Structure 1
Amino acid sequence: MTRRRKPRRLRRWLWLVFGLWLASLAPVLLLRFVDPPTSAFMLARHWEARGDADFRLHWRWVDWEQVSPQLPIALVAAEDQKFPQHRGFDLDAISSALGEGGADGPSRGASTISQQVAKNLFLWQGRSWLRKAIEAYYTLAIELIWPKQRILEVYLNIAEFGDGIYGAEAAAQRYFGIPASRLDAGQAALLAAVLPNPKRYRVEAPSSYVLQRRVWIQRQVRQLGGPAWLEACCGEPGATR
């Protein structure tokens, strides 16, 4: 009798693990085709501001075809120049960051755009090794299931460009009074320049650092080859393929 129970228990545990694995992949599969209605970071910011009657969260999804070609290349130039080639992780940057880490995890970020999508969509803020492990799992899932264009499309729609300002459309309307489809190279580079810390660096009142970073991003865009450089892996924004 005891020998019979052990295989049954093992099977139940295996089915449980399999079920949990499928449940964890379900949102990644769904969001490959369905636009996310919000993100974990947006929900967290809503919760933080629950007592602030003046706070408003600005966000509106915009499809890939409705984005200026200048914005995706500016984001890649600023945040992750190996985006078209890597499979979710910049190993050189991770190795460098780990060398500076402490007991609570890496002391600075080495995140690719794919990692930032995983983190912003599904996870809480923090730097613990547990969160990094879960982030790595979702990054792998996103890279396996989504094409590069989808990863970049979601990223530019959920990135925070200021306190309570999420996504390209809200940022373009808020700071420049235009839709995301009309952003020029300078405006796109300025939005990308604040991404390291959008609560500290401001688009509407850029510091000298932000202005210098905008110039650097525009130079990097030119060196990479401009918007055409992304077309091979991501398609061309602003036009239906």
Structure 2
Amino acid sequence: MKALERWLLLVLCAAVALQLFFVLRIALAVWWDPQSTSLQRSEMWRIWQQSGLQRPWQQQWVDYAQISPHLKRAVLTAEDDGFVEHDGVQWEAIERAWERNQKAQEKAQAHPNAKPPKIYGGSTITQQLAKNLLLSGERSFLRKGQELLLARTLEAFLSKQRILEIYLNNVEWGEGIFGAQAAARHYFRKNAAQLTPTEAARLAVMLPRPRYYEVNPQSRYLQSRTQAIVRRMAATPLP
């Protein structure tokens, strides 16, 4: 029993230490621009294993004011149009995503030879930042619970502007392409501050599957969804 108690105590101490580490990283982000994220490090490792980093890494931090308002509005419209109002988590969106995933799973079980079902996340921008910045990409209840906790912590320490600034500077926009500035340079040969509404909307639509749309730029969905975002984004408030 004593051995079990010691083991449980060690596990508890490790869990507390991990949470303190996460809180410290988030607190530092109030003024310190994160130099890399968990997602970026895992992607760097994957690319290195596949190609030996033959493709150059593309990323350049730019301040919030140097990112086009069109891109900010487009990303919020496409990914999280309630960003300025919620506290990091939208429970209704998570519930809707859960229901859609359950239905998709039931359909897949009934038709095992069909195309794998699309997985819906229901995550806010804050949740996405929590996952990309500090967590792994695995899908589990434990990881999702940690993501929700970190999202609330991000909202407690950082302003909405700062959350969006860090997100836009680190989100993936293609193979080895991270952040608004790198995406603007790669796809449109201009700075992030110069993006037009259509260019911004196109980048926003790419976010769920950036590597796919990088090699499939003529996708009909990408084009039609871009126009839909352009029509809606003017009504999306910015922090």
Q: Report TM bin, short chain.
A: 0.7 to 0.9
Cα offset, 1:161, TM superposition: 1.1
Letter in 1 for 2:93: A
After superposition, the C-alpha distances for 1:16-70 in whole angstroms (9 at most, x for unaligned) are 8765543331000001210000111110011111231323221111111111111
Q: 1:203 & 1:63 partners in 2: Cα distance?
A: 29
Unmatched 5+ stretches in structure 2: 1-9, 106-117
Letter in 1 for 2:224: Q
Which of the numbers 28, 31, 36 marks the counterpart of 2:29? 31
Contact 1:191 1:203 in 2 (8 A): no
Q: What's 1:42 paired with?
A: 40
Q: What's 1:238 paired with?
A: none
Report which stretch shifted further, 184-193 or 195-204: 195-204
Q: 1:157 & 1:97 partners in 2: Cα distance?
A: 27
- Once the two structures are superposed, the pairs formed by residues 162-241 of structure 1 within 5 Å of their partners are 162-202=174-214, 205-222=217-234, 224=235, 229-230=237-238, 234=239
- Once the two structures are superposed, the pairs formed by residues 8-157 of structure 1 within 5 Å of their partners are 21-51=19-49, 52-53=51-52, 54-101=54-101, 107-157=119-169
Report which stretch shifted further, 89-98 or 165-174: 89-98
Q: 2:146 & 2:189 partners in 1: Cα distance?
A: 38
TM (norm. structure 1) is 0.82
Q: Secondary structure in 2 aligned to 1:202?
A: helix
Q: 1:183 & 1:65 partners in 2: Cα distance?
A: 13
Q: How many residue pairs are counted as aligned between the two chains? A: 215
Unmatched 5+ stretches in structure 1: 1-11, 235-241
Measured at CA, do residues 34 and 197 of structure 1 come closer, stay the same or move farther in structure 2, by a change above 3 Å? Answer: same
By percentage of residues, which structure has more helix? 2
